[in-house]
């Protein structure tokens, strides 16, 4: 299964981002991609940090819009799944959203970022409510897919829930520097859950980003290999471009049938503390939101 990482810089308008996004999706299809993935909040290029709230919140667009509709139509035309991102207009305030269309142009998943960065301007966004998985029909067969967005990766529970819901592949739009610690988080999420993690970031030409889009396949051991293997299938450089990663789903499935991570030997009855919202610790901020 081929995944195209659209590590591209946004323009200054919704129209520019639409045109550029469609163009790169066509290029991805020409390279044989089964899934094309955008960075975080592509509709406005995640341009929310250095502008007044009133200005950037006015750029939120409905889920049913010409922007998303164009990618939906293109997915069906190209026979390629498309994971496009947007600042979504929502009743309680804008959301940071991924919409996944399958190769027939059917909308399969709408995921809004659960762990909004409430220590920053993202505190004005409406967080998502849950982590969901869907069965995505691709030219290479079906794959169970879930999603996280950027800061979600810093919470092991995000990927753990998706694993428990059957995810084989997690799509992660991103907009921040992918340095060694964040890359290590992605590697760990893939390893501990025995699933693939695909992250698409903005290139180094975008402020506070540095490329490094990546694919970790989660397969740490092979029967004919001594010791462990590097689960990193792709780590892009910093420059703008379209990067391709290839995932061996059959290998991953065989691995999941035989290895000891994921849900194999968990003790969930002992994890009650993880969901106890009454806990108060000195390091928790006063503005903590459940």
The pLDDT of residue 33 is above 50: yes
State the virtual CA torsion across 53, 39, 145, 130 in degrees, nearest 10.
-10
Enter the pTM of the model.
0.95
Under the banding of pLDDT at 50, 70 and 90, the label for residue 251 is very high
Q: Can you read off the two tokens belonging to residue 123?
A: 């505190």
In angstroms, the CA 59 to CA 134 distance is 29
CB 215 within 8 A of CB 197: yes
The pLDDT of residue 288 is above 50: no
Q: Which pLDDT tens digit goes with each residue over 145-184? A: 999 999 999 999 999 999 999 999 999 999 999 999 999 9
Name the strands in the sheet holding 241-246, side by side, starting at the edge strand that comes first in the sequence.
Answer: 107-112, 95-101, 81-88, 35-37, 2-7, 241-246
Work out the number of other CB atoms within 10 angstroms of the CB of residue 182: 20
* Structure confidence at residue 277 (pLDDT): 79
Work out the number of other CB atoms within 10 angstroms of the CB of residue 211: 25
In angstroms, the CA 190 to CA 167 distance is 11
Q: How many residues does the chain have?
A: 290
* Structure confidence at residue 290 (pLDDT): 45
């Amino acid at each position: 299964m081929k995944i195209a990482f659209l590590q591209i810089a946004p323009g200054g308008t919704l129209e520019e981002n639409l045109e550029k996004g469609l163009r790169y999706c066509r290029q991805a299809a020409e390279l044989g991609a089964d899934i094309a993935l955008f960075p975080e909040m592509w509709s406005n290029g995640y341009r929310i940090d250095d502008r007044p709230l009133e200005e950037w919140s006015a750029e939120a667009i409905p889920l049913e819009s010409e922007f998303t509709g164009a990618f939906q139509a293109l997915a069906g035309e190209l026979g390629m799944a498309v994971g496009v991102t947007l600042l979504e207009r929502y009743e309680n305030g804008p959301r940071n959203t991924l919409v996944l269309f399958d190769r027939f142009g059917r909308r399969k998943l709408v995921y809004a970022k659960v762990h909004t960065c409430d220590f920053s301007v993202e505190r004005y966004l409406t967080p998502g409510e849950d982590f969901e998985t869907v069965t995505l029909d691709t030219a290479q067969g079906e794959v169970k897919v879930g999603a996280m967005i950027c800061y979600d990766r810093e919470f092991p529970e995000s990927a753990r829930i998706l694993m428990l819901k059957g995810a084989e592949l997690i799509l992660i739009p991103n907009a921040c520097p992918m340095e060694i610690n964040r890359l290590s988080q992605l590697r760990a999420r893939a390893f501990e859950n025995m699933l693939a993690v695909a992250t698409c970031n903005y290139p180094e030409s975008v402020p506070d980003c540095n490329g490094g889009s990546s694919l970790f396949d989660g397969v740490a051991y092979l029967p004919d290999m001594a010791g462990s293997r590097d689960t990193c299938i792709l780590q892009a450089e910093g420059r703008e471009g379209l990067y391709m990663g290839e995932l061996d789903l059959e290998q991953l499935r065989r691995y999941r049938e035989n290895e000891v991570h994921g849900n194999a030997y968990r003790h969930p009855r002992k994890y009650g503390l993880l969901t106890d919202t009454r806990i108060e610790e000195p390091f928790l901020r006063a503005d903590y939101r459940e």
